[in-house]
């Protein structure tokens, strides 16, 4: 079999457009400057992990999955996804882009066109569960500790309002419930964390998710849904349409900063839940709304969030790189 010459390979790679090639197999949608979909290389149920970077961008014409690590260009996608050899992947692209490769037919029969199944519906939790399942009166170390902080009088007065606005509540077993309600008011998730009476998270216990709680899992059936985790506090975007937005790592920091600064019209505080949880999906509403967005990673996360920021490609989002810690925010509350 003749070897395909380098010039032809280069012409084909130049002609290939990753969005079209991946789009033949994966349903893609816009995510900032990128495209995203469910990763075909692992059992993916969260969009936002699998990114296709358009050709026109720097480092573009590539795909990448942040979960399983799959990455490459159109040729590598075809080889992996369709099990093609390198020459056959080149020939496949040659056919698609009408570039003559050689007279060897592609040793591959494309599967009959099939509708790409849409991802399962987004998980939505009934609104009335918010107050019914989580209650302020449940004993709660985090909320009790918040009241012990050295607030000024005005700040202390508005603390219960801040907690109410952010939907921070107790759970019957003493954990704290941080509801994750999206910018349109859909309740998508809740994170349950146990705090010690010194305000630190109990590191012995991993954060829990509401859809995995006994008695609730059966009712929500998370396996048949796509689970999304909006930024904690995202439901406040509608109430403060002109506020610039600060995004921090931990829910605790967001609540403290919101209460400390008070006027949310001047700046909203949202949390992604941890260093590794900042993703395109949760940032999309902020980008679409053209908000001024400041990302405030803890000091060890500046570089990582700058990379996410670069991928977002939105000029309204910036990483705040100055050292930022208050004396009572001193631990990573991430999962």
Provide the binding-site residues for Zn ion, judged by CB under 5 A.
39, 41-42, 65, 67-68, 70
DSSP 46: S
Choice between 39 and 317, CB closer to Zn ion: 39
Smallest separation (angstroms) from Zn ion to the CB of 41: 4
Smallest separation (angstroms) from Zn ion to the CB of 66: 8
Choice between 67 and 116, CB closer to Zn ion: 67
Q: How many CB atoms lie within 10 A of CB 242?
A: 9
Show the CA angle centred on residue 260, arms to residues 259 and 261, nearest 5°.
Answer: 95
CA dihedral defined by 95, 97, 103, 105, rounded to 10 degrees? -20
Choice between 2 and 69, CB closer to Zn ion: 69
- Measured distance between the N- and C-terminal CA atoms of the chain, rounded to whole angstroms: 54
Choice between 68 and 130, CB closer to Zn ion: 68
Smallest separation (angstroms) from Zn ion to the CB of 36: 12
Choice between 51 and 143, CB closer to Zn ion: 51
Give the rounded distance of the alpha carbon of 69 from its chain centre: 16
Whole-angstrom distance, CA of residue 270 vs CA of residue 146: 17
- Which tokens is 65 given? 């999955």
For residue 29, the cross-strand partners are: 36
Query: If you write DSSP's letter for every residue of 196-236 in order, what string do you get?
Result: -TTS-B-TTS--EEGGGSTTTHHHH-GGGSB---PPBTGGG
DSSP 175: P
Choice between 65 and 116, CB closer to Zn ion: 65
Smallest separation (angstroms) from Zn ion to the CB of 94: 27
Query: If you write DSSP's letter for every residue of 54-72 in order, what string do you get?
Result: -TTSTT-SEEEETTT--EE
Choice between 26 and 302, CB closer to Zn ion: 26
Choice between 50 and 305, CB closer to Zn ion: 50
Q: Please provide the size of the chain in residues.
A: 335
Smallest separation (angstroms) from Zn ion to the CB of 34: 15
Smallest separation (angstroms) from Zn ion to the CB of 45: 11
Whole-angstrom distance, CA of residue 141 vs CA of residue 199: 7
Residue 199 and residue 328 in contact, taking contact as beta carbons nearer than 8 Å: yes
Smallest separation (angstroms) from Zn ion to the CB of 49: 6
Smallest separation (angstroms) from Zn ion to the CB of 43: 9
Whole-angstrom distance, CA of residue 272 vs CA of residue 47: 16
Residue 178 and residue 251 in contact, taking contact as beta carbons nearer than 8 Å: yes
Question: Residue 254 to residues 192, 247, 269: CA-CA distances in angstroms?
Answer: 16, 8, 5
Residue 17 and residue 74 in contact, taking contact as beta carbons nearer than 8 Å: yes
Choice between 39 and 271, CB closer to Zn ion: 39
Smallest separation (angstroms) from Zn ion to the CB of 291: 30
């Amino acid at each position: 079999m003749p070897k395909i010459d380098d010039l032809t390979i280069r012409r084909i790679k130049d002609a290939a457009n990753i969005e079209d090639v991946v789009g033949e197999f994966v349903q893609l949608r816009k995510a900032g400057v990128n495209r995203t979909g469910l990763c075909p290389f692992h059992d993916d149920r969260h969009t936002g992990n699998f990114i296709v970077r358009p050709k026109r961008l720097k480092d573009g014409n590539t795909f990448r999955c942040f979960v399983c690590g799959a990455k490459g260009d159109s040729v590598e996608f075809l080889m992996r996804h369709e099990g093609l050899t390198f020459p056959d992947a080149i020939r496949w692209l040659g056919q698609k882009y009408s570039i003559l490769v050689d007279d060897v037919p592609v040793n591959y029969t494309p599967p009959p066109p099939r509708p790409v199944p849409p991802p399962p519906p987004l998980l939505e939790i009934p609104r009335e569960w918010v107050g019914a399942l989580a209650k302020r009166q449940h004993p709660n170390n985090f909320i009790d500790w918040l009241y012990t902080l050295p607030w000024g009088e005005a700040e202390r007065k508005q603390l219960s309002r801040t907690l109410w606005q952010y939907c921070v509540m107790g759970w019957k077993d003493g954990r704290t419930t941080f509801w994750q309600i999206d910018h349109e008011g859909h309740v998508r998730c809740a994170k349950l964390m146990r705090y010690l009476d010194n305000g630190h998270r109990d590191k012995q216990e991993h954060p829990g998710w509401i859809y995995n709680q006994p008695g609730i899992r059966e009712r929500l059936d998370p396996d048949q849904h796509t689970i999304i985790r909006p930024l904690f506090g995202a439901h406040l975007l509608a109430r403060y349409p002109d506020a610039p937005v600060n995004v921090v790592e931990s829910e605790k920091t967001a609540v403290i900063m919101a209460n400390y600064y008070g006027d949310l019209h001047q700046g909203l505080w949202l949390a992604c839940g941890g260093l590794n949880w900042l993703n395109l999906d949760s940032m999309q509403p902020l980008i679409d709304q053209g908000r001024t967005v400041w990302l405030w990673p803890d000091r060890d996360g500046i570089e990582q969030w700058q990379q996410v920021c670069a991928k977002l490609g939105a000029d309204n989002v910036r990483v705040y790189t100055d050292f930022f810690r208050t004396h009572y925010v001193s631990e990573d509350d991430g999962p």
